[in-house]
Amino acid sequence: MRSCWTRSLPPDQQPNSPEPVVAVVVAAGSGSRLGAALPKALVELEGVALIRRSVEALREAGVADIVVTIPVGFLPLFEAALQGLSVTFVPGGATRQDSVRAGLAALTAPDDAVVLVHDAARALVPAAVVRAVADAVLAGADAVIPVVPVIDSIRRVEGEDSHIVDRSPLRAVQTPQGARLATLRTAHDRIAEEGVQVTDDAAVCEHLGMHVVLVNGHRDSLKITEPVDLILASALLRERTP
């Protein structure tokens, strides 16, 4: 059974677009690689929790309803971190994929609403990237993801041996990832029934035969994963502040 805690959206936060864009922000991970005392989404970046920065970035881009998946036992801390922002909290699952599915189930938008799935850990996503993903779905794409070129040399390790991989066609995948709500719900339900685990929502859609459309991501939208990422993100934020 899933529990759900809802607060309604105040009039000043209603979307302007006739086509609603809604979102799931997945924030139920522990952040084991970051190694903080709190779940990663509650960790502060320059005094503001990652989850708050992520929700504010989506709001700035015009996203209406937002469901946030959170780890069990941390509701009061998430409520405090998102004070003044209207979101719906739902308990996350054991994996990111499970958390996305729980979040999608809690959305009350129409089937054809554009839905964006965003990692709380990508707290500095520019509003332009969010809008580019939503616009591509509105323009008719089944599934949309933001990507950036791979800049490191890449090697494939095979036993004791390793081989260089041509990086020129490779892209690193970011969030938010977009689709129509009913499409993404169906895709997640199907892949869960089949017991297949993948690492992102594009792969979930692709598993059902959908074409994935790429838009330009942004380096600022790095996934805060290890302690060094917090240092980098702090520096990026200080650059943004006039």
Ligand X SMILES: C[C@](O)(CO)[C@H](O)COP(=O)(O)O
Q: Which residue is nearest to ligand CTP (CB)?
A: 29
- Cβ(181)–Cβ(115) below 8 Å: yes
Contacting residue, 36, 186, 223, 236, with ligand CTP by CB under 6 A:
223
**Burial level of 230, CB count in 10 A (0-12/13-18/19+)?**
buried
CB 88 → ligand CTP: shortest distance, Å?
Answer: 14
CB 233 → ligand CTP: shortest distance, Å?
Answer: 13
Residue 125, interface with ligand X (CB under 6 A)?
no
Residue 102, interface with ligand CTP (CB under 6 A)?
no
Nearer to ligand X, 119 or 220 (CB): 119
Residue 94, interface with ligand CTP (CB under 6 A)?
yes
- What gap in Å lies between CA 180 and CA 114, rounded to an integer? 5
- What gap in Å lies between CA 76 and CA 74, rounded to an integer? 6
- Radius of gyration of the chain measured on its C-alpha atoms: 18
CB 223 → ligand X: shortest distance, Å?
Answer: 5
What residues between 53 and 92 interact with ligand X by CB under 6 A? none
Residue 31, interface with ligand CTP (CB under 6 A)?
yes
Which residues bind to ligand CTP, rule: CB under 6 A? 26-33, 40-41, 69, 92-96, 99, 119-121, 223, 225
